[in-house]
Amino acid sequence: MTVRRPLGVTLAAVAAILGSGLFILMGLGMLYTVFVPAPQSAALAFLRAVSVVMCFVMLGVAAWGITTSVGLFRMRGWSRWSILVFSALLAFMGGSTALMMGFIPLPPTPGVSAQAMTWIRIGVAVVYGVPALMGAFWLYYFNTARVRTQFGPGAFADGPGGRPLSVSIIAWMMLVGGAICIGGAFSPFPGMMFGLIFTGWAARALCLGFAAIEIWLGVGLLRLNPLSRVLAIAVFACTILNSALFAVLPGHSERLRAMIDSLPFKTPPPAGFDPFASMAPSLIIGSLVSVIPIWFLIARRQAFIKPPELPVQP
């Protein structure tokens, strides 16, 4: 029997295709900049490396979007879970960035008035806020009873393997975070852990260590491994502790300036500008956001308990 596809599902599938096309163009544009002739420098080498990494990231997101869109057009049950995970990531990343733009002080720019800077702040917040609202709407829409019914009788149950949606979202967040850490291992950016600054090979090892942990835990959460749940809670708790120690320990502004000075390329901040003031809101918001997955991993602990095997009858 052919299932009648709701208009909202069709529009979401079309939006996913259009967004994927935009990501493909942006990825190819990033790749094109690598081959543009320019004087060699450390800054240019780093920017080209970032462009290559971002190209593959954008093409990967585009492939995910196109695959999900095809599944939505065909009303496949897995595509509903895919769009829910994507919507949660979209709402989280766009919403947190838009929220931070309301608190992060921008450095004064010569020749740009305070009113223009305000409009720039509003513009950036809108650019990130609109996708966040779209993701939040899709989270609501694809969880309505009518739409869930359209995707089959099993749509009211948990996800694949009995995995709750919240656990799937957290797992994919950790997998994405692990991929970002792998990219960070090839960058000159320093690392920071519990108030200590790591540069050079120590920073690269720190990034690779975090990448291995996050990817391992992400896969474990997808498999509903009980140990992965406990360790994931510990990782998010360490994230909160890391931010708190960076802000509470004396000399945070000096440490941040030392991190900036360790870069092979840098733009001196304007006189009187405290870089910690622009970083503090992101530390606070990041710490508050880390509480959310901790709560869900505690609340959904029953999903990680395997039912006892029934004895085999002779």
**Rounded average pLDDT over 134-142:** 87
Predicted pLDDT of residue 77: 80
Question: pLDDT tens digit string along 211-269?
Answer: 899 999 999 998 889 999 999 999 998 888 887 777 676 766 666 666 666 665 555 55
pTM above 0.75, yes or no: no
Residue 131 has pLDDT above 60, yes or no: yes
Distances (CA, A) of 30 to 24, 26, 167, 191, 265: 10, 6, 33, 25, 20
> Which of 35-39, 255-259, 260-264, 273-277 shows the lowest per-residue confidence on average (mean pLDDT)?
273-277
Helix (H), strand (E) at residue 290? helix 275-299
Overall average pLDDT of the 275-288 stretch: 63
The residue among 88, 96, 93 whose CA lies nearest residue 143 is 88
pLDDT band with cut points at 50, 70 and 90 for residue 310: very low
pLDDT tens-digit readout, 80-91: 888 888 888 788
What's the chain's length in residues?
Answer: 314
For residue 48, give the H/E element and its range: helix 42-73
Q: What pLDDT sits at residue 232? A: 93
Mean pLDDT (the chain) is 76
